[in-house]
Chains A and B, each alone.
Chain A
Amino acid sequence: MTGLETSTIFAYCGAALIGIGIYGFLVRRHMIRRLIAFNVIGSGVFLLFGATGARQPDLGVDPVPQALIITGLVVALAATALVVALTVRYAHLTKRATLREDLPDEQGGS
């Protein structure tokens, strides 16, 4: 895909979002921040998928990717809710919102 069309622009935008999300997911240690980064990866994939399905401007976006993206958005929300519940419960038990493996050595991590 090349040229300056709506679909091309947002397809590359999706690729950039995937990169940003991966970086945040690797660097961030607070679980909510990591969750946000993971959702950025997800929406980057959706944007890329939807935009590549809109390569013929007169046809609009391919309905099959659209349906899959809507399904994906709802599942992503459910997964987010599960991670939030896990994080809150974990913080109740440990007073931390960070996994043990992510703690530096002097703070009691492995």
Chain B
Amino acid sequence: MTDWLLIIAALTLVSVAAALWRVASGPTTVDRMMGAQLVGTSGVAILILLAPTSRSGWAALDVAVVLALLAAFASIAFVKAVSRDGRGDPEEDA
């Protein structure tokens, strides 16, 4: 079972790497910003798959909790910074 979970985790990692091509090529800044959300979700998935195989046991799950909690923060900082006056939010601008 450990091997199986590692294989799935490795393949998820490959799919992340492929999707990172979009972060590198853009073209828009929002396309690039998606990279943060991408590793947020996929990183959590990989950590969940690694937790049962980890030498430190299920404690690794706490890392996934932290990553999931903070996944949206960089995107929020981004949308605030690119809003009309640099400190608003996109819904006000609409």
Q: Is the interface of B mostly helix, strand, loop or mixed?
A: loop
A6 CB to closest chain B CB, in angstroms?
9
Chain B, 49-92, contact with A by CB distance < 8 Å: what is the 0/1 string?
00000011000000000000000000000000000000000000
Which of the four size classes fits the interface of chain B? Answer: under 10
Cβ contacts under 8 Å, A60 to chain B: 55-56
A60–B56 Cα distance when bound, in Å, is 8
A57–B55 Cα distance when bound, in Å, is 9
A33 CB to closest chain B CB, in angstroms?
15
Cβ contacts under 8 Å, B55 to chain A: 57, 60
B1 CB to closest chain A CB, in angstroms?
19
Within 8 A of B (CB), among A20-72: 57, 60
Q: Residues on A close to B: CB < 8 A?
A: 57, 60
